[in-house]
Structure 1
Amino acid sequence: MLDPSRWDEWFGKLELAFGGVRTSPEERALFHDLTECERSIVAWDGDEIVGTTGSFSFRLSVPGGAVVPAAGLTMVSVQPTHRRRGVLRAMMRHQLDDVRAAGEPLAVLTASEPEIYGRFGYGTATHAASAEIDTARVRLTVPEGADGVALRAVEPEAALEACEAVYARRVPARPGMLERRPGWERHPLLDPEGERGGASPLRCVLAERDGGVTGYARFAVRPDWDAAGPKGVVILRDLEALDPASYGALWRFLFDLDLTCTIQTGRRPVDDPWQHMVSDIRRCQVRLRDDLHVRPVDLGAALAARAYALPVDVVLEVTDPFCPWNEGRWRLTGDAKGASCERTADAPELRLGARELGSAYLGGISLSALAGAGRVEELRPGALAGASAAFLSDVAPWLPHGF
């Protein structure tokens, strides 16, 4: 456990392992306040800190709309002088044991190097889309009703309560979203001046219909010019909306900002609807990368906590050498209303590891795709197709922000 009086030293070791660049004072202050010292681990060599990791007490949306306790693994580092000595493995062992003792069925993380965590049972469960949209050449067709949406510019701090209310309503609608815990509402407003790269301070616009806030966009503008004229860039940070008209109105606002010709987006859902509103997706330069990695810690509780797109009744033979309490045969039965997952002695129908279940858990990675890679084995003909279809989510899972 981390002594709060040594947080600065502990966090400084994390910064050193990630290249030695000091975090901005604003971000440092936020993560000082968010750190759960009682859930933070320190690896020592004498009195020297040589390894760090911690957990955030999150609640994660899952298919079916439930919000499930999940430990958010964070701030993982090992000093370069102490690599290949088992420090990381020891911290992972300690941490997952603690997560199990806390009764959290899931552990989740975002990875600086994704190849590291598969051996600890984490599977890639979500992807994030980024884009660079050429608004000078790409036309936008918005949903019906967008003309009836009023837009209002508000300072981000002043709009925070309204934005958080919209965000809270969106959480059950898409797997992978994090319910805002106290203090985390400050995270989207982080805007250190030294990290703007020539862009404006963070701005916010609200969408309103029938007297209520129905969406918001937070963004910055980086002005630029060449001999031909203005070529500013809109940097989209966040956009959420409760209905298609509000969503379309916000995107149209961003497309129409004066003196700009590009919208840059960062972490967005892979099925973000704007992709079906543009005239030329090729000029939007959409790119994907892995994002949230999921690990079942209490396998039975995790699989029972979500709903399934189709009725499913399948016996899973699970391997999990790092968390052996999950190993063995489990009968999963469920549908859109709920599920149960219990130990069984019945003959197995699918064989897979905890890592594969982590990848499939939020419904964005199919069991069939994993089977095609040799990572899921079908033992009863037909079992794979049925289970794979049941696990899928109607909307792509998405992590709205890192941690």
Structure 2
Amino acid sequence: MQNSPDFVAVRRALLSVSDKTDIVPFATALAERGVELVSTGGTARALEAAGLPVRAIDDLTGFPEMMDGRLKTLHPRVHGGLLARRELESHRNAAEEHGIAPIDLVCVNLYPFTQTLASGAPPAEVIEQIDIGGPAMVRSAAKNHMWTAIVTSPAQYAEIQNELNQNDGQLSRHTRSTLAAEAFRTTATYDAAIATWMLDHTGTDQTGAVAPPVQLGLSTGHALRYGENPHQAAWAYPARSGDGVLQAKQLSGKELSYNNLADAAAALDLVADLGQNAPAAAAIIKHTNPCGAAAGDEPLSVLDNAWAGDPVAAFGGILALWSKVDLPLAEHIAQPGRFLEVILAPKFSPEASSRLAERWPNARLLEDGELD
């Protein structure tokens, strides 16, 4: 990553928001610091109505807003001001030659696409709420957070104001980087909602196969056999945090289904809670409902107590254990009259995993160090 100045002074801000919550107090605080306010359309009108000095975007660009507002900020004098690397002489010279002024802070939130979609609006109206200029400015400013701060939510206004007050009108490198990360998350979420809506209208990709869901901020996923019901598609994505049942190592058994994963995740959460205060714990889940759970000092008796909660419902369920499974515990699990779809534990001895795989060849054995 390029070297970034520790602090950047905010002298010019571009404000263009769909959600105008608290934009007037925020802009007022900037103006009181001597920041030049540049704004678009309805945002400019709201600021002017509050008595704030505002420079219209068409004065900056030399072009009027046109095509029902579809063209406002898509202009070199906007994006040049956002993207210029001010430490480079060539960028400074190009900006001077073409009348491009640097923009130190951008405050943008996007057209209400998801809200419009949820309202049941017709497709033509939904399409008009697909923001183009907003995400372009957000991404330009976030890419160049070395020099430009990007604010994407009214929830960030107070923090920005406080830092400007504390740092004599400047924003720190850490704040600019944090805001940029949130900005990219915002545009990714926004684009994912649009892509999902458009995929729902087609339902298939060019080959005729069901299109995979939009992936957002997750590790590489994989398709499951089906969703909660056989007619539904499902994909699984491990969290980047490294936590959760999808991080477990499968030692044997059939491929995990959506329902297996949902039940295993519930069992993992329950046994982890129980295991905080006891050396041994067990939880049995079926259809995401607990069939039995227990905690204590000795794994064999804890397993029996958990199974006794509802032996009928536990048949074909998911068992999660807080302790390592050795051969004696595996023999106890595998006794006649019991059947399990998934067994989740921090560790299985080789003898234990062999015994359980022999007893139930299709049962999934999951080893999850998170339970250690």
Q: What TM bracket, shorter-length normalisation?
A: under 0.3
Bigger Rg, structure 1 or 2: 2
| TM-score (ref. length: structure 1) | 0.22
Flag the structure with more relative contact order, 1 or 2, with Cα contacts below 8 A and sequence separation at least 6: 1
Higher strand share: 1
Higher helix share: 2
